[in-house]
Structure 1
């Protein structure tokens, strides 16, 4: 009686997985009556009478799947795993070769009804291949060289993550005791044992194969990959196989699996025997060859041509000087995929320099802004290199961080942190309902001032931004200000005098001395910052068309100051709900920054001291006898130059939300 009990227990343990132990199972063949209850078979997969599980038959364009019916709880603690299985791939015709291969797969679902046959191996289709949302880890035993996926040959083993572009691959084989690799023909039709092991501590996947029951000491593939980012809490384990224009029969003879431990090894001598091969009539072979070979050759040529065209289209020539520039250099194809081929729906804004797109980079998944400089832009390679080499080294919480760059021919691209709340001018002027109270505005002012102080004094060189304005102030997810767009920035050593340069910038922000000397200084940034202060406090643009004349914001503020009604200029959107002392201080500070004389303006260090309350502003601001601004002659200065006189290469338009 005891012997009978032990026999029944042993048969149950080795033939079907325990319903109470879903982290370990072993199949010695697939003959047990309960096997169909524990396995989920789909498409052409079936269990033969001799106990062999057949995924595909000698028919073209097939897929076959078998998965363990219950999901495995991978993330209950650690999720190391081990599996051992015996398989055989038998081509329908040896001379034509095999097609297309078999995979061991771990996936979030066992439903692959939308997957394609052939090179997609029954796991993916043309729409989802490569998507990080697939959550698929697979080891492929590939018997068909598919140029679309960069296969090395028609007899290799590869490790795949969410795609069939293998993360690592090797010619099918095993290492003997003499450390020499011996080839294994996956299409031999003979049984082959495979071991796949993952250690969650070291994050390494090891893949080993052998034509015998003895496991080689050295794995064929050993590859580092963190499956924690791929696996969900519950995943399905199983196999997928497919045939294409050439057919093969894919067999499973046995399978064992264990979570957080070593799976039971299989002995080829105890597994079911493969069915005998059937000889095909010679005429059938001749007919098949006459039809398939020309088709196969033409298809292969077409695939190669399409592959080469795609490669050439996305290729990029890297010149020697580019290797010396930091920071990170992205591949063009990475940014193309991140922005969904620079799709219009991803467009954040545009201007004279080109366009800015929203993008998503994988591994790790982050959102970025990709600035694509237009071919027609006057910001060419020289300014592009300047922007990379300078802002790539900036490190300040109130400056937009440059993450990397790319150049492909005449395409120039910069990759920045993504600012979800857009630009300041959008929130000041383009919103039907203002969303910026005074507290937020004052915090933005202090942030921009801190960023400018870093540029003027905190960096290894003096940096003149030359295009400080509301549209170049971007806001992060916490409404903190980040000064961006350094395409016009000019750098010189501390203590030295800046040289003359061409007149660039935006009308309304340009310091008057620029037209006289052509010399950009930190005082020019202070002048533009003064205009920005008045914009934020008043909710008005620097120049606004009102009737036949234009309203010049600085003149308007001075006139109200001289009348003693300065609070009339405050933005109506928050009037009555603001700190009056802070608003008055900002208005006075704006007028000081807008002094017509460069030496009459405060430095950014003094500006920050005023804003932080360390120093009080004197009360002796006066309107000069000439009329307009102490800043002297600003109205005449504005009307002396038309917009066409200025090279507005950095103007920027923000698209409204859809």
Structure 2
């Protein structure tokens, strides 16, 4: 049905007066309408009042959207410059922009869908360089609204329960920049033809045909640059073609995506054409700069010079800020890593140990210096048991077994000290007698030699005999047991072991006591 001719423009007012105008026209039976034998309907009045720039409701052209009356919901908005912005910086939301007037795409006489063509210019500006968010789609929908639709991967079109249902009667051309295995996506930069769901009937990586070289060249949908898209349906061939090109390149002669489909069973008598988009965790800004549509013909070419400009300066500032923050993050990361490596090297050097060939000849347990350092709480003075010509003796407790030990810390600098150290390990490592203090092991680190013995809780005999602060009196029976214990240990060393070991330094300070009744040499 055709819209009213220009002579009727005086009757066109705001669409808020739609019912008043309709009633007035019908009641007064305006002569010009009678002469044209046009039956006025509510649909024709809507056509007049929507601000469509073409003369038929089956065709429209928007060179920018300033002053247009699209039906918007969700995040969708028209910027002051005339851009249709489908998504903003809100996470997990959706936006739709409907052409207000429904399309009658079916021939009522035979039920076939008319041929149609549409063209639009879009741009996806990613939040981060080369990181795509959820894309956008051009959709034919039976309703002005998509209730129950979800954002993120569903593009504001479907949800988990109705995705793929034949009752949806939805045709969509998706511009997808996320690889989603759930829907069988081919990659993260493709265009797909969807019928009633997001599993595309046919999809191809975004590319355009270059006439001069006769082959296709890939395009990045998230380049941030505007691009043109043409969608054409042929009723004769029952074929849907999708063509894309950079902004300034005319429509290529070869579409890059095609699909044979008879839309008669999919399209209802009344359909709405709509742009749909959504956001997830990544927040791209998806724009439409211009849009045209025509039934039974080629959609009008858009006036590219009059289309609104993208907010490139703002995006550039955001990109520059991102680069600065990333650079700062890299510097901080390198600095922290360098300090961490230096700390680890210094810590290892602190506990570094020496290993020589003679140690392989004696099967004595070697403690790590770190283990003994922790056991004696860093060789604190409060753990000091005694001092002699050989060095210092510290009380300790092994972290793993909680066994109490005595650690003799000797000097490694003198050759005499080293000989004594090796000699004690060589002789004591094989000795096993109940009246001899057991050598548990040893440790070496740089200039230090450490011998680890069993800990005697009552110290040495001289404290019982000569320490005025401990006036402990030993009975004659206790003294006899002590003498017998010392004698038993010496007998083992001098005669009973396979090798003769001469002690040469028997005195009260070298006799250890774990109890008054048990004596150790």
1:60 Cα shift?
2.3
CA shift in 2, pair 1:173/1:21, >3 Å: same
Is the CA contact (8 Å cut-off) linking 1:99 and 1:144 kept in structure 2? yes
Alignment pair present for 1:85 and 2:116: no
Alignment pair present for 1:207 and 2:242: yes
Equivalent residue number for residue 400 of structure 1: none
Is the CA contact (8 Å cut-off) linking 2:53 and 2:61 kept in structure 1? no
For structure 1, which runs of at least 5 residues remain unmatched after alignment?
A: 291-658
Alignment pair present for 1:127 and 2:161: yes
TM-score by length of 1: 0.40
1:201 Cα shift?
1.5
CA shift in 2, pair 1:154/1:20, >3 Å: same
Equivalent residue number for residue 107 of structure 1: 141
* Aligned mates of 2:273, 2:324 — CA distance in 1: 39
For structure 2, which runs of at least 5 residues remain unmatched after alignment?
A: 1-5, 10-46, 331-521
Residues 243-300 of structure 1 show CA distances to partners (whole Å, capped at 9, x for unaligned) of 111110010100000111111012432211111234344499669x99xxxxxxxxxx
* Aligned mates of 1:194, 1:223 — CA distance in 2: 16
Q: How does 1:119-518 map to 2 (within 5 A)?
A: 119-177=153-211, 178-211=213-246, 212-276=248-312, 277-278=314-315, 279-280=317-318, 281-282=321-322
Q: Secondary structure at the match of 1:148?
A: helix
Residues 211-258 of structure 1 show CA distances to partners (whole Å, capped at 9, x for unaligned) of 024000000111101111100000000110111111100101000001
Is the CA contact (8 Å cut-off) linking 1:71 and 1:235 kept in structure 2? yes
Equivalent residue number for residue 70 of structure 1: 101
CA shift in 2, pair 1:283/1:21, >3 Å: closer
Bigger relative CO (Cα 8 Å, ≥ 6 apart) = 2
CA shift in 2, pair 1:254/1:16, >3 Å: farther
Residues 448-484 of structure 1 show CA distances to partners (whole Å, capped at 9, x for unaligned) of xxxxxxxxxxxxxxxxxxxxxxxxxxxxxxxxxxxxx
Equivalent residue number for residue 83 of structure 2: 52
Residues 564-600 of structure 1 show CA distances to partners (whole Å, capped at 9, x for unaligned) of xxxxxxxxxxxxxxxxxxxxxxxxxxxxxxxxxxxxx
* Aligned mates of 2:298, 2:202 — CA distance in 1: 23
Q: Secondary structure at the match of 1:229?
A: coil
Which region of structure 1 is more displaced relative to structure 2, 20-29 or 121-130? 20-29
Is the CA contact (8 Å cut-off) linking 1:213 and 1:267 kept in structure 2? no
* Aligned mates of 1:283, 1:179 — CA distance in 2: 38
CA shift in 2, pair 1:214/1:60, >3 Å: same
1:80 Cα shift?
1.1
CA shift in 2, pair 1:63/1:284, >3 Å: farther
RMSD: 2.9
* Aligned mates of 1:19, 1:206 — CA distance in 2: 24
Larger radius of gyration: 2
Alignment pair present for 1:22 and 2:57: yes
CA shift in 2, pair 1:255/1:16, >3 Å: farther
* Aligned mates of 2:51, 2:239 — CA distance in 1: 29
* Aligned mates of 2:324, 2:161 — CA distance in 1: 37
* Aligned mates of 2:53, 2:141 — CA distance in 1: 21
Structure 1 residue aligned with 2:71, among 40, 50, 58?
40
1:189 Cα shift?
0.8
Is the CA contact (8 Å cut-off) linking 2:53 and 2:62 kept in structure 1? no
* Aligned mates of 1:231, 1:261 — CA distance in 2: 18
Which region of structure 1 is more displaced relative to structure 2, 153-162 or 54-63? 54-63
Equivalent residue number for residue 580 of structure 1: none
* Aligned mates of 1:164, 1:262 — CA distance in 2: 27
CA shift in 2, pair 1:19/1:183, >3 Å: closer
* Aligned mates of 2:196, 2:325 — CA distance in 1: 38
Residues 322-355 of structure 1 show CA distances to partners (whole Å, capped at 9, x for unaligned) of xxxxxxxxxxxxxxxxxxxxxxxxxxxxxxxxxx
Shift >4 Å, 4+ stretches: 282-287
Residues 192-227 of structure 1 show CA distances to partners (whole Å, capped at 9, x for unaligned) of 000000011210000000002400000011110111
1:21 Cα shift?
2.3
Residues 414-463 of structure 1 show CA distances to partners (whole Å, capped at 9, x for unaligned) of xxxxxxxxxxxxxxxxxxxxxxxxxxxxxxxxxxxxxxxxxxxxxxxxxx
TM-score by length of 2: 0.50
Q: Secondary structure at the match of 2:175?
A: strand
Is the CA contact (8 Å cut-off) linking 1:24 and 1:256 kept in structure 2? yes
Q: Secondary structure at the match of 1:269?
A: helix
* Aligned mates of 1:216, 1:247 — CA distance in 2: 31
1:112 Cα shift?
1.6
Equivalent residue number for residue 604 of structure 1: none
